[in-house]
Amino acid sequence: MELLTWVENSALGTWVRESPSAWAYSGLISFHAFGLAFVVGLSWAIALRILGFAPGLPLAPMEKLFPVIWIAFWVNAVSGALLVTGTATNDLTNPVFFTKMTFVVLGVVTVWLLKNQVFRDPASLNTRAAAQKARILAAASLACWAGAIVAGRLVEYPVLFGLRKE
């Protein structure tokens, strides 16, 4: 807890939270929304395609979307880390925040697995076992990112769970 207080009161944490600069809290949270839209939006599009929507859309070119997802992910990792320095004593003691982070980590793992297993050889999806595995991964990815959005929004409402917001 002392560490969290130190982080929050550090020059960086104070700047993030209190600076009137358009790059501080409000700018960081905007970049966090840009990244969310692309990470989740593109991951969902890939997952929906694998689950059978838009079957006319060829799967293989979707591989080119992964670099965009990773860029958007890093935008969010950096903006998210900076935001947390400003509100460390709240976030890092909030179980809803850790729920969100769990979903994010699982979401990243599912996207990584889709990229490295399914897209290494999209033609293999013609075999029944591989297609089944891909669908399970896609459904898991869809669900993890949905969970990340739900928990991410609820981070700001710990009172809903009887948790105190300081």
Partner 1 sequence: MELLGRLLESPMLTSFVSWSSWVWPVCEIFHFVGMALLLGTVGILDLRLLGVAKGFPVAQVQRLIPWGVFGFVINVITGIVFVSGDPFALPIEKLNNLAFQLKMLFMLIAGINILAFYLTGVSRAASALAPGDNAPLSAKVIAAASLFLWLGVIYFGRMIMYVDVFYTQF
- Residues engaged in binding partner 1 (CB under 8 A): 20-22, 25-26, 29-30, 33-34, 36-38, 40-45, 48, 53-54, 56-58, 60-62, 64-65, 68, 145-146, 149-150, 152-154, 156-157, 159-160
- Which of these, 32, 16, 35, lies nearest to 24 by C-alpha position? 16
Query: Can you tell me whether residue 24 is helix, strand or coil?
Result: coil
- CA atoms 115, 118, 120, 123: torsion sign: negative
Side chain identity, residue 42: L
Q: Which of 161, 46, 157, 163 is nearest to 112 (CA)?
A: 46
77 vs 133 by CB, closer to partner 1: 77
Nearer Cβ to partner 1 (5/21): 21
Q: How far is the CB of 126 from partner 1 (least distance, A)?
A: 18
Least distance from partner 1 to the Cβ atom of residue 129, Å: 26
Minimum CB separation of residue 27 from partner 1 in Å reads: 8
